[in-house]
Amino acid sequence: MCGIVGATAQRNVAPIILTGLSRLEYRGYDSAGICTLENDEFNCLKTTSKVATLINKVKERGCKGFLGIAHTRWATHGIPSETNAHPHICGNLALVHNGIIENFKELKAKLQEKGYVFKSETDTEVLLCLIHYHQQDSNSLKEALLKALNEVTGSYAIALINKSEPGVLYTARSGSPLVIGLGIGENFVASDVLALLPVTRRFIYLDEQEVAIVTTDKIDVCGLDGKEHIKKAQDADLDAESISKGSFDHFMQKEIFEQPSSLRNTLTERLDDDSVRLETVIGLKKDSFKDLQNIQIVACGTSFHAGLVGKYWFEELTHIPCNVDIASEYRYRHAVVGNNSLFITISQSGETADTLASLRLAKTQGYKNSLCICNVNGSSLVRESDFTLLTRAGAEIGVASTKAFTTQLLSLLMLALIIAEQKGSLTAQKRHELIESIRQLPSLCEKFLSKDKDILALASEFADKHHCLFLGRGVMYPIALEGALKLKEISYIHAEGYAAGELKHGPIALIDRNMPVVVVAPDNALMGKLVSNIEEVRARGGKLYIFNSEEHVLKADTQTKVISLSDCPEILQPILFTIPLQLLAYHCAVINGTDVDQPRNLAKSVTVE
Ligand code: M6R
């Protein structure tokens, strides 16, 4: 979603903030803009096209200065247009904003009564005018900003500049992420660290409801009450190269092929002979899970699918009942919390608004502990959870989650083994066997990736389809859901995932020779049942695409294509059988000519509700 970059320096900041903005493109946006302070005047340029167009505009028309802010906007209030694009300007102030000001209508009406005229349809301009209005009864911009922020409800991350304070960048956050990058004689702000890695690796993470006044040599942070907060700087564990495509055509393709190494990283120094090391989960103690009786998982999208797989594993390996909810549902239902319950959130970004809101709600509901499985150290979920298991997938730039998902699955499996050990639900021998299987994961992942050419051939048959069903049984059912999500989000082919046993309860009505049916069919205990479901499709003329294990090859015929994949331990099947589905979605998207890494209407990090 929206991206913010700002800088104050003793050199022209335009190239720095435009580079930062390009590095935030992955978050998803529909317009972009920049504003610098040049000879005591604002110079503001905008586009409803890509950041590259904004960069060209800056080259053609000139835009420079020692102080500047820039923004990529993902429309919430008002269509994507140059008028609605940020930065917004009101008198001596220019503002960029991520998030949603929920009481903007009431505030707008009040400001209109006081004579303010609004140019855009945005809630951002309302916040800006409110700050401007409070300047009249304040001794400083800081005071006016605090008054305004105490009046708004909703979420925000902002960067604000003032014509009469040439070296000063004001910034604040509540509900939307914001980091401050520390340079030498220059400082920066951005929505995430990736934007600033070319200029610094040292960051201060703003916490909820904090305001920072950033100059070239000083960072002053305070709360919304104006009281000073002491902050510590941290070094980022990513480098600038994390967001290069290398020799790949797309970030998604690179990230799919990075999975052997991301899975290897997830495992590094975490496995012993018959146990997963305790320090794998930050904050955990030897007996943290000894009395655990219930597990509740909450997540969105692909991370929710990981949670669904986690349910099968937790119940099988730890014998603890596990519930899984979509975060936007959990936060508005009246969940009944059992005794000794663990609340688990799963998120690539650690900033997903609904997941974060669910965690905050859970903290009031009587859970014993919270744990997050997350790819971004320092994110809001990590900072607000009792325990953290970092997935270590590395920066994921493609909007479609790939390596984040498989490392989430691996993390859930490791967590299940930790809980099983503390609960005594698995023998040391059984844990040893599972750990030996897990050790094979990175090399098996390479074998699954080696089927890329076969899957490309399959995709060329597939890409012109308008609809598709994905079927799986047991723990492969969430993988069918994930396969369908991947295909629809990047190729725009309508796809639905079903538990294969549900077919005859409705979806079978859709089957005819124009309906491709993808079946995730590894060799496991439910194979016999799945074969019956496959026959139900075959009998109705459906076209079948079966992802199968070499060990148990199903018969191909004119109606049925079979892609046989390496044999693998049953426990790893959900992770490994995800890979051909990612490749299928990727190749279909490329053939259909869609924007693979930034599909229409989607944002990488969904920081608004
Ligand atoms: O950052 P999160 O894992 O919390 O994000 C959740 C979803 O928005 C995300 O998984 C989304 O569904 C992806 N685009 C799927 O590929």
Q: How does the average pLDDT of the chain come out, rounded?
A: 94
Distance 299 CA to ligand 1 centre (A): 9
Phi, psi torsion values for 90, nearest 5 degrees: -140, 110
Q: Kindly give the number of the ligand 1 atom that is closest to the alpha carbon of 400.
A: 16
Report long-range pairs for 266-269 (Cβ below 8 Å, ≥24 apart): 266/391, 266/392, 266/393, 266/407, 266/410, 266/411, 266/414, 267/410, 267/438, 267/439, 267/441, 267/442, 268/392
Distance 301 CA to ligand 1 centre (A): 5
- Can you point out the beta strands (E) in 244-403? 294-299, 322-326, 341-347, 369-374, 387-390
Q: How far apart are CA 181 and CA 502, in angstroms?
A: 51
Pocket test for ligand 1, best of 27, 176, 300 (most atoms within 8 A of CB): 300
pLDDT > 90 in the chain, percent: 83
Q: Kindly give the number of the ligand 1 atom that is closest to the alpha carbon of 603.
A: 14
Structure tokens at 502: 């549900």
Give me the catalytic one of 2, 63, 300, 468: 2
Pocket test for ligand 1, best of 297, 344, 352, 354 (most atoms within 8 A of CB): 352
Q: How far apart are CA 203 and CA 37, in angstroms?
A: 24
Q: What pLDDT sits at residue 600?
A: 87
Q: How far apart are CA 32 and CA 502, in angstroms?
A: 45
Structure tokens at 277: 């090391």
Domain regions of the chain by residue span: 3-242, 249-345+366-372+389-439, 452-592
Confidence band of 462 (pLDDT split at 50, 70, 90): confident
Residue 269: alpha-carbon gap to chain centroid: 26
Query: Are 249-345+366-372+389-439 and 452-592 in the same CATH fold?
Result: yes
Structure tokens at 354: 């609904």
Q: How large is the average pLDDT for residues 240-254?
A: 85
> What angle (nearest 5°) sits at the alpha carbon of residue 456, between those of residues 583 and 592?
85
Q: What pLDDT sits at residue 246?
A: 84
Span 342-366, pLDDT tens digits? 999 999 999 999 999 999 999 999 9
Half-sphere exposure of 401 (CA within 13 A, CB side): 28
Structure tokens at 166: 């040439």
Q: How large is the average pLDDT for residues 238-251?
A: 81
Distance 529 CA to ligand 1 centre (A): 31
* Locus of tokens 């900003």: 145
Confidence band of 456 (pLDDT split at 50, 70, 90): very high
Asked if the model's pLDDT at residue 402 lies above 70, the reply is yes
Nearest CA to ligand 1 atom 8: 301
Q: How far apart are CA 101 and CA 132, in angstroms?
A: 16
Asked if the model's pLDDT at residue 547 lies above 90, the reply is yes
Closest CA to 148 of 121, 116, 179, 120: 116
Q: How far apart are CA 384 and CA 388, in angstroms?
A: 10
Distance 139 CA to ligand 1 centre (A): 44
Nearest CA to ligand 1 atom 11: 301
Q: How large is the average pLDDT for residues 379-404?
A: 94
Span 593-607, pLDDT tens digits? 999 998 888 887 787
Nearest CA to ligand 1 atom 14: 400
Distance 26 CA to ligand 1 centre (A): 13
Distance 558 CA to ligand 1 centre (A): 37
Q: Are 522 and 566 in contact (CB under 8 A)?
A: no
Which range has the worst mean pLDDT, 72-81, 240-249, 290-299, 477-486? 240-249
Q: Which residues form ligand 1's pocket by a CB distance below 6 Å?
A: 300-303, 347-349, 352, 355, 399-401, 489, 602, 605-606
Please state, in angstroms and as integers, the Cα–Cα distance from residue 343 to each residue in 76, 364, 372, 424, following that order. 30, 12, 8, 21
Q: What pLDDT sits at residue 76?
A: 81
Count H helices and E strands in the chain, helices first.
19, 25
Q: How large is the average pLDDT for residues 104-110?
A: 96
Q: How large is the average pLDDT for residues 513-522?
A: 93
Q: What pLDDT sits at residue 240?
A: 65
Q: How many C-beta neighbours within 10 Å does residue 52 have?
A: 13
Q: Kindly give the number of the ligand 1 atom that is closest to the alpha carbon of 404.
A: 3
Nearest CA to ligand 1 atom 7: 301
Q: What pLDDT sits at residue 166?
A: 95
Rg (CA), the chain: 25
Distance 349 CA to ligand 1 centre (A): 8
CATH 3.30.70.260 fits 3-242, yes or no: no
Q: Kindly give the number of the ligand 1 atom that is closest to the alpha carbon of 301.
A: 12
Q: What pLDDT sits at residue 586?
A: 98
Distance 1 CA to ligand 1 centre (A): 12
Span 275-317, pLDDT tens digits? 999 999 999 999 999 999 999 999 999 999 999 999 999 999 9
Confidence band of 435 (pLDDT split at 50, 70, 90): very high
Q: How large is the average pLDDT for residues 202-229?
A: 96
Give me the catalytic one of 57, 254, 368, 604: 604
The domain made up of 249-345+366-372+389-439 has a fold known as Rossmann fold (3.40.50)
Pocket test for ligand 1, best of 255, 391, 401 (most atoms within 8 A of CB): 401
Q: How far apart are CA 148 and CA 99, in angstroms?
A: 15
Q: Kindly give the number of the ligand 1 atom that is closest to the alpha carbon of 604.
A: 14
- Supply the CATH classification number for the domain 452-592: 3.40.50.10490
Nearest CA to ligand 1 atom 4: 347
Asked if the model's pLDDT at residue 171 lies above 70, the reply is yes
Q: How far apart are CA 506 and CA 469, in angstroms?
A: 12
* Threshold 0.75, pTM exceeds: yes
Query: Is 2 annotated in the active site?
Result: yes
Residue 349 per-residue DSSP state: S
